[in-house]
Structures are given as structure tokens and as C-alpha cells.
A and B are shown apart, each in its own frame.
Chain A
């Protein structure tokens, strides 16, 4: 059972220091900034926020070193990524039609009970599409790992030994945001799930997405036009039961109740949590509690503070504890 805190963006109003205290971490902290890619080592501000007790695992650079030292592995990895990219594009095509259908049903003029039953079926189709997509992604990942056996390759093992040595000195882990796919790939490549599961974990933005059990990409108004939220795949699954939405105020049209309702209902079974600046969710295994002003997206399209006195109707009681 992993203990941890998921946080909103840390650049403008960092509270990661408060998270260190919340988790009672006393000692070195392993920092993971692979989501920053080539800028991974530019971690001075982060080190300061962590009280200058951190050591960067440099997972991005280590990945590049593995690719350089093992060209066959690099080629196989690239082929796998190409396949995943194609799969994601095909999923997007199906998703666009399915979401358009759901929204058109939602906005139709017809008796309310008929709209509701048709909408629920449209949402079921969406859930099925998302679930199947995540399963196909997992299948490609597992097939790659079965065939290529990354963890048995000398180039990777060299890096793992060093990572293990660094982690052995650490009392906690901090995972920063950035490019969520790159971050997740590095975490998976170096089998970080099993390596950090027993340590308290602080993760924010893309980091929080990557350690949850489902990574959902979203942006309602990117420059190329309205985006459809999509499942990238499973996360590490250290903190289950939530869909983490960093920068929700900037990236989601939170005032559009219809749109938010479809979003929340589509991912029902998990709780969609908006993680903006100064927001947090503290986990002890599957149980979680939110900080002030940390909102949940509800099935009726409203935003509700789960830490407020009246619990929202669709909050999974088994997963929730009160602040």
C-alpha cells in the first residue's frame, strides 16, 4: 500500500514542501524529472523546494544512454512506440464519433427520460471504447516486454543498479510534471512501480497522472480546435480510483455543465479530480482525502469540494475518507 500526495502544478505556488511534512519524510528524496526531457537536470528550484535533500534519478538521460548502448533495444522500443502511436490515432477517430454522438444526444430536444437512457448507452459505448483501448495499449506494452525482455538487457541493468543504489538512500520520491507519455515511459522502462511502491510518493501534474491507474489526456480548447479527452493508457496504478486533471481551470471548460457531466460520467467508477495550484489529494493505498479547494467533477456537471460537509452523491463511499 503506497502512501502519497498528488499535487497540482508547482511552478507558481509550490506546496511540495508541505507535502514532505504531510508525509513525514525525513531524509533524502529521490527526484524524478524525466517529464522535462532534455531539461531534466535543470532542477535547482525543485531541489530548493524539497529542502535541498533530493537526488535526481535522471531517468530521461539514463533512458537515452540505454538507447545509445543497445541499438537493437532502441529499434524495438521505437517500433513499439510507432505501433502505440498508430493505435492512439485510430482510437481518436472512433472516439471523435462516439463523443460527438453522446453530446448530440445530450443536446437533443426530446423527452428527458428518452434522452437520459440514450445518453447512458452512448456513455457505456464510450467507456467500452476507453477500456478496450487501454487493454490494447497494455497488450502492446506486455508483448514488447515479453519479447525484448528489457530488464534482462545489460545496458538497462547497469542503469538499474545505479538507480537502486540511489533509491536505497532515499526516504521518499518526488515526481514532477512535464510530458506525461515520456515520463510514464521512463517510469515503466526502469520498472519504477515496484521500486518505489514502499516509499512515500509526492507527484504533481503529469507525475500525478502517471502514478494513478489511468492516464487521461485532456484540453477543451487547444489551438487546433476543441479536443476530446482521451485515454493514453494505464498509469503505474500506485494511487487508484481517481482520474487526475492538472491545470483543470486552464484546460477544461468548467462552466460548461453538459461537457463536464459527460466527462465525469464517462469515467465513472473513478473520481475525476481537478488539481490546480495549491490543490492536493493524500492517499493511503486506495483511501484518499482532499485538500481545501480541490474539486471533484460531478455527474451533474457541477464542481464539488469533497472535503466540504455534504458529500457529493456519486462519490464512491468505499474509497473516500473525511478530512
Chain B
């Protein structure tokens, strides 16, 4: 439904021929993209033959064309964006047959990932959670490095270890093992999140093992060497070096995307070892019949998920699962919920209007970690 009140871009266009001065005034008067209710208007100014919005919202055409304001170099495109949405995007600028993907020059908000950075459009009502930003009052934990010289994966592996502020040898801690730990620290602000949530008493002080993969696409989909590395090397070494609770309920495997598959596969291969799972946007591709349509990268994943769906056993006790509704994996994650519930595990599933990206995973950490490892807030009355 078109809004009764004209949008900012409609107001500009209604003036008739748009002058350079009017364009300059328009650009100065707004921040971009312009969010008006359920509409997001993207704007590009510059010489081009065509401009397209390239985004990662599953369900919408991944390339959407801009319109040029006649007689100017101002381009615009309006997209429906439900409240609380968060969308990462780039512009594809076409000029003289060259297609160039660029970040939105008018939008300073960026999200970083291993492939670079994207522009971020925050829909109405979305705010970056305060607990993801550094809090000067929160004491910082420390990070140490451990080296495994020989591993079940062949060759050495580095594992970083986060110890919470006020770590004491005389206390005991739950253990969280994080796949792609370096990426979680760099792109999902994991250390800040842990420092803040522990400071706020919302999450129990945790010892966190941050693993760093080799070739994650081959190691993560149900690789016996990977599972053995985690369960037979990382876990015993962590138990030997740090004061940990010795119970499955105090051990959690966490991962996103293929890392979610790795976490689930490791728990599946070592049932009764890890009583907690935190799986974000797991690449839980499966087939009911016929060929895998996601290509050879997913062949091992599909093989594993099909086997898991057939005989899930009870790999853990409590599972937190999350997925963005704008991800292509939303169907697979929704399908996983009843499978996990039928095993007798306690399952919490959450969705957000976001995509397959690190900031989506960052924003879900509070609900996941506080559910799996509630902090002493319950016990503290200052």
C-alpha cells in the first residue's frame, strides 16, 4: 500500500524538473538509505548507465534496478523493508559496459566479514544492541593462545582461549568451544559481547576456546578428524589447563553456517559429551528425494544432514538455534526444529529479519548464551 504521506523522493520528484541545487539540498537533508515506515529508499549520485541494488535478501530478486531522476545524475530505488529488518547490500554501478560493485557512498554504516565490507541498511526499529558495543564499565577478559602441534586433522592448530575478567583458579567455569573463533571475534564482536554480558551478570563467566579452521568447507561437514580434534584433543586439553565444570551441561559447541554443521556433527559423533549447542544459521541442507541442488560444496553437508535427520539420536541436551528470515537457509533451519525436538532435547529457536552474516549472529548471542548459560543475575540482589 502506498503511503498517504509522500516519501522524500516523491516530494523531490513532484517539484517537476529537478535542479542540481535541489539535488544538493535533498542529499544534505537526509541520511541514507531513507527509512520511511516500511520503505527504504536507496540513493546513488554519479555518472552511470545503470545502477542496481545488490543485496542478500532471499525471497527478493537479488538485483533491483534504480531509476534515474531525469536531467540529473541522481539514482534511486525504494524497497519494502519490514520493521526491525537489517539488510547488507552493495550498489552495482554499470558504466561503459563495466560492472562495478561498490559500497553505498552516502551510507557510513558498514558490516565487515572475511570477504570485505558491505553497506548496512537498518529498517525501522532496528538498533544495534547496546551490549554489543564496548562498555567502559565492563572489565575485559583476556585472550591466550594455545598451540596443538599435532592434531587429528594433520598438522598443527592454534586455539585462542578467552578467560573472563576476574578469572580465578579456585573457581570452576563452563566451557564454550567456538568454531571460526577468530571471525566471531573480528566480525561479531564476540569479546565485547562476552565482556558485557558477563559484566551485566546475564551470562555466566565462561572459558571460551576459539578454534581457527584450515579448509572449513572440507573440515566442517561431519569430518571425523575435526570431531576428534574437538572432542579428543581440545576438550581434554582445556580440562587439564583450566578449572572447568566436568559435566556435559557445562560444555557447549557453537558455530555459524558451516560452523553450525561442524558443531552439530561433533556432538552427534560424541553423544553425551557436549550438553549445550548454539547453532546459528546452520547450513543444514538436506534432500527428501533427488539430487542436492546446492552444488558440490554442499555434497558432504547433505550427506550428513540426511543421515542425521534419519537417525538423530540425542547428541546434546539443550540446543539454541537461530536463523535470519532473509537467508536461503531459513527453510532448512525451520525444518531442523522438529527434528531436534523429537530427540527429546530442549530446543529454543529464534528468527530475525536479517541475513546470513556476522552481525545477525552477533545480535543473537545474548539470547543464545543467556539461555544456555544463565548468569548470576538470578542470584544477585545488590
Contact B379 A179 (CB under 8 A): yes
Contact B170 A223 (CB under 8 A): no
Q: Which chain B residues lie closer than 8 Å to A97 at the CB level?
A: none
Q: Which chain A residues lie closer than 8 Å to B186 at the CB level?
A: none
- Does more than half of chain B's interface fall in helix, strand or loop, or is it mixed? mixed
Are A177 and B381 CB-contacts (below 8 A) given A222-B202, A223-B202?
yes
Contact A224 B379 (CB under 8 A): no
Contact A223 B367 (CB under 8 A): yes
CA distance A177 to B366 in the complex (A): 26
**Within 8 Å of chain A (Cβ to Cβ): is B115?**
no
CA distance A178 to B377 in the complex (A): 10
Contact A219 B168 (CB under 8 A): no
Within 8 A of A (CB), among B334-382: 366-367, 370-371, 374, 376-382
**Within 8 Å of chain B (Cβ to Cβ): is A205?**
yes
Q: Which chain A residues lie closer than 8 Å to B374 at the CB level?
A: 222, 224
**Within 8 Å of chain B (Cβ to Cβ): is A11?**
yes
Are A38 and B379 CB-contacts (below 8 A) given A223-B367, A223-B370, A225-B371?
no
Are A246 and B202 CB-contacts (below 8 A) given A222-B374, A223-B370?
no
Q: Which chain B residues lie closer than 8 Å to A178 at the CB level?
A: 380-382
Contact A224 B380 (CB under 8 A): no
How many residues on B have C-beta within 8 angstroms of the other chain's C-beta atoms? 16
**Within 8 Å of chain A (Cβ to Cβ): is B166?**
yes
Q: Which chain B residues lie closer than 8 Å to A35 at the CB level?
A: 380
Q: Closest A-chain residue to B372, C-beta based?
A: A224
Contact B379 A180 (CB under 8 A): yes
Of the residues A67, A223, A246, contact of B381 by C-beta under 8 Å = A246
For the complex formed, measure the closest distance between the CB of B274 and the CB atoms of chain A, giving whole angstroms: 17
Within 8 A of B (CB), among A2-53: 9, 11, 35, 38
Contact A247 B381 (CB under 8 A): yes
Size range of the chain A interface in the assembly: 20 to 34
Within 8 A of B (CB), among A164-185: 177-182
Of the residues B202, B370, B380, contact of A179 by C-beta under 8 Å = B380
Scoring A residues 210 to 228 as 1 if CB is less than 8 Å from chain B, else 0, what string do you get? Answer: 0000000101001111010
Q: Which chain A residues lie closer than 8 Å to B166 at the CB level?
A: 38
CA distance A309 to B163 in the complex (A): 55
**Within 8 Å of chain B (Cβ to Cβ): is A191?**
no
Contact A67 B170 (CB under 8 A): yes
For the complex formed, measure the closest distance between the CB of A187 and the CB atoms of chain B, giving whole angstroms: 15
For the complex formed, measure the closest distance between the CB of A113 and the CB atoms of chain B, giving whole angstroms: 37
Of the residues A11, A38, A206, A223, contact of B168 by C-beta under 8 Å = A38
Scoring B residues 112 to 135 as 1 if CB is less than 8 Å from chain A, else 0, what string do you get? Answer: 000000000000000000000000
For the complex formed, measure the closest distance between the CB of B205 and the CB atoms of chain A, giving whole angstroms: 11
**Within 8 Å of chain B (Cβ to Cβ): is A209?**
yes
Q: Which chain B residues lie closer than 8 Å to A224 at the CB level?
A: 202, 367, 370-371, 374
Contact A222 B378 (CB under 8 A): yes
Are A219 and B202 CB-contacts (below 8 A) given A64-B170, A224-B371?
no
CA distance A178 to B379 in the complex (A): 8
Q: Which chain A residues lie closer than 8 Å to B202 at the CB level?
A: 222-224
Q: Which chain B residues lie closer than 8 Å to A180 at the CB level?
A: 379-381
CA distance A275 to B371 in the complex (A): 27
Are A227 and B378 CB-contacts (below 8 A) given A64-B170, A67-B170, A222-B202?
yes
Q: Which chain A residues lie closer than 8 Å to B367 at the CB level?
A: 223-224
Are A222 and B379 CB-contacts (below 8 A) given A38-B168, A64-B170?
no
For the complex formed, measure the closest distance between the CB of A169 and the CB atoms of chain B, giving whole angstroms: 28
CA distance A177 to B381 in the complex (A): 6
Q: Which chain A residues lie closer than 8 Å to B378 at the CB level?
A: 217, 219, 222, 227
Scoring A residues 66 to 106 as 1 if CB is less than 8 Å from chain B, else 0, what string do you get? Answer: 01100000000000000000000000000000000000000
CA distance A180 to B382 in the complex (A): 9
CA distance A225 to B377 in the complex (A): 13
Q: Closest B-chain residue to A247, C-beta based?
A: B381
19 A-B pairs in the complex with CB atoms less than 8 angstroms apart: A9-B381, A64-B170, A177-B380, A177-B381, A180-B379, A180-B380, A181-B379, A219-B377, A219-B378, A223-B202, A223-B370, A223-B377, A224-B202, A224-B371, A224-B374, A225-B371, A232-B379, A246-B381, A247-B381
The 8 closest A-B pairs by CB, nearest first: A206-B381, A205-B381, A223-B370, A224-B370, A224-B371, A246-B381, A223-B202, A177-B382
Q: Which residues of A come within 8 Å of B, CB atoms? A: 9, 11, 35, 38, 64, 67-68, 177-182, 205-206, 209, 217, 219, 222-225, 227, 232, 246-247
List 8 extra interface pairs beyond A181-B379, A219-B377, A222-B370, CB under 8 A: A9-B382, A64-B170, A178-B382, A179-B379, A180-B379, A219-B378, A223-B377, A247-B381
